[in-house]
Amino acid sequence: MPGLFAKTPPPPGKRTFNKTPENLIIDESSLDNPDLGPFLLKLARDTIANGENPNKALDYAIRASKSFERCPGPGLDLAKCLHVVAAIYSSLGRFKEAVESLNRSILLLDVDEPGSMVKFSGYMQLGDTYSMIGKLDRSILCYESGLKIQMEVLGNSDPRVAETYRYLAEAHVQAMQFDEAENFCKKTLEIHKEHCSPASLTEAADRRLMALIYEAKGDYEPALEHLVLASMSMIANGQDNEVAAIDVSIGDIYSSLCRFDEAIFAYQKALTVFKSTKGESHSSVALVYIRLADLYFKTGKLRESTSYCENALRIYSKPLPGTTAGDIASGLTEISAIYEALNEPEEALKLLQKAVKLLEDSPGQYRTVAGIEAQMGVIFYMVGKYMDARKSFENAITKLRAGGEMKSAFFGVVLNQMGLACVQLYKIGEAATHFEEAREMLEQECGRYHLDTLGVYSNLAATYDAMGRVEDAIEILEYILMMREEQLGTANPDVDDEKKRLYELLREAGRVRNKHGKSLENLIDSNSFKMKKEGKKKWGVFGLRT
């Protein structure tokens, strides 16, 4: 391609090898040449494939996009080039630029052939990018947009559509939206059963995902059924390691069902296979050790539980090549929970702090880190370190807000814990703010009658009383008592406890119980989320709900 490039000549006496040019100087006028874009794009792809500097690959890809931009046509080549640009940006951790490139590629194309499937690819890549930075709601919307385009082109029962259904099922699992995940996974399974041979590896993978969803929903029997069928498929295909991984999941189900002997048998089977195929220091072996540690704790064998924790920690202290930071952090978090249950909070905190350090620089791990920091806050609270607890909860809340995770039950629970820490520090006004937001969130995500929602109501009533907002506190307590009486009956101990709290507060206010409580709408309107100056720090009537 003469006349397009000016290459730096090699030093005298040196051989010139056929490789990617180190210094590629492009004349601006040459960008109009229709051959330049494809050539530069190939250079970018070759640079990536050869493991060379990704910044150099990015430079080639951006120049290619500029060339494609000048060429007439439907924009297909430019859209495909922008997909490569976005992939390189993502590999460099520059997710904002990746999202911008993908959005631009999507806007270039109409939803008709031949650009429809390129647009589908753009939506799917954009969904993956949002998933990497933890924005699961946006990720799901992108996958749904891609699915709509794909179904218009391929129909409803194409195997490629099944793969997109699976993407959506996995995304909903990550977002803890298990009903939606179940619906998409069922569609995936139906299509694969139609197109794949019986006992196929594809169907086995679908069943493992379905089992995970059922387990998360607490439907253990159907989860176990899917795991057994998946295991049979893997055995038929000679996939020993996959069979062992399924045995671990089967052990988890048996443990949840308190069938401990069967759980131990499943775990030991998996442990034997992992040790023989992957080695005794593999992270898979550590995972089974953790499962056994948890099981032995449940059965009161504390010495065995501690021993298995120590075995797992030895593996994580000297991880094998290929072990990811996420695997280690996940293992440390699970071991921490066991140490916390063993009443060793200091050891539990050390492990959580190590887990955070492993993940703090990893893109897309903000939600995991927020969960770990929230757990640290709980332990700090339990041991009376309320300032540290408040800081940990604050870090978690900040990450969840930044990632757009403000519409989840988990976020509501963390807000409630933050409020409790503020109470212990006598920051009563701040506590009320967090309880009010937690109430709104849990009411939206869990419903008015959920125990977590009612618990936050109870904490808010106590906070209002301490602020001198006695009438607001009484209204909330009357509402809580009405809800509990409807759910549990008037003779339930929890109802009796609420009655005592309400009557004590009414006695102090010189009133009697109003048998006709106001509606929730009136209750919220009367509170109107206004903050007053902190009043008296009075907690005698109330026991705060964690």
pLDDT tens, position by position, 171-187: 999 888 999 999 999 99
**CA-based nearest residue to 286, from 302, 303, 265, 308:** 308
Tell me what pLDDT residue 6 has: 34
> CB under 8 Å to 335, separation ≥6 — which residues?
290, 293, 309, 312, 313, 351
CA 251 vs. chain centroid, Å, equals: 24
Asked whether residue 157 carries a pLDDT value surpassing 60, the answer given is: yes
Q: For residue range 429-486, what is the model confidence (pLDDT) as tens digits?
A: 999 999 999 999 998 888 887 888 888 888 888 888 888 887 888 788 777 777 666 6
* 284-298, 422-436, 484-498, 519-533: least confident range: 519-533
71: three-class secondary structure by DSSP: coil
**What percent of the chain is predicted at pLDDT more than 70?**
80
Span 272-279, mean pLDDT? Answer: 96
Span 268-275, mean pLDDT? Answer: 96
Asked whether residue 112 carries a pLDDT value surpassing 70, the answer given is: no
Asked whether residue 497 carries a pLDDT value surpassing 90, the answer given is: no
Q: For residue range 307-317, what is the model confidence (pLDDT) as tens digits?
A: 999 999 999 99
Asked whether residue 524 carries a pLDDT value surpassing 60, the answer given is: no
What whole-number distance in Å separates Cα of residue 305 and Cα of residue 340?
Answer: 12
Tell me what pLDDT residue 466 has: 85
**Tokens encoding 471:** 């009438």
Q: For residue range 7-37, what is the model confidence (pLDDT) as tens digits?
A: 333 444 433 333 444 444 455 556 667 788 8
Asked whether residue 501 carries a pLDDT value surpassing 70, the answer given is: no
Question: Taking a C-beta distance cutoff of 8 angstroms, is the pair 370, 408 a contact?
Answer: no
Average of per-residue pLDDT values in the chain: 83
Question: Taking a C-beta distance cutoff of 8 angstroms, is the pair 386, 425 a contact?
Answer: yes
Q: For residue range 352-386, what is the model confidence (pLDDT) as tens digits?
A: 999 999 998 776 688 889 999 999 999 999 999 99
Tell me what pLDDT residue 97 has: 95
> CB under 8 Å to 528, separation ≥6 — which residues?
none
Handedness of CA 82, 84, 87, 88 (dihedral sign): negative
Tell me what pLDDT residue 29 has: 54
What whole-number distance in Å separates Cα of residue 60 and Cα of residue 45?
Answer: 9
Tell me what pLDDT residue 398 has: 92
Tell me what pLDDT residue 496 has: 56
**What percent of the chain is predicted at pLDDT more than 90?**
60
What whole-number distance in Å separates Cα of residue 53 and Cα of residue 42?
Answer: 15
Q: For residue range 60-76, what is the model confidence (pLDDT) as tens digits?
A: 999 999 988 887 766 88
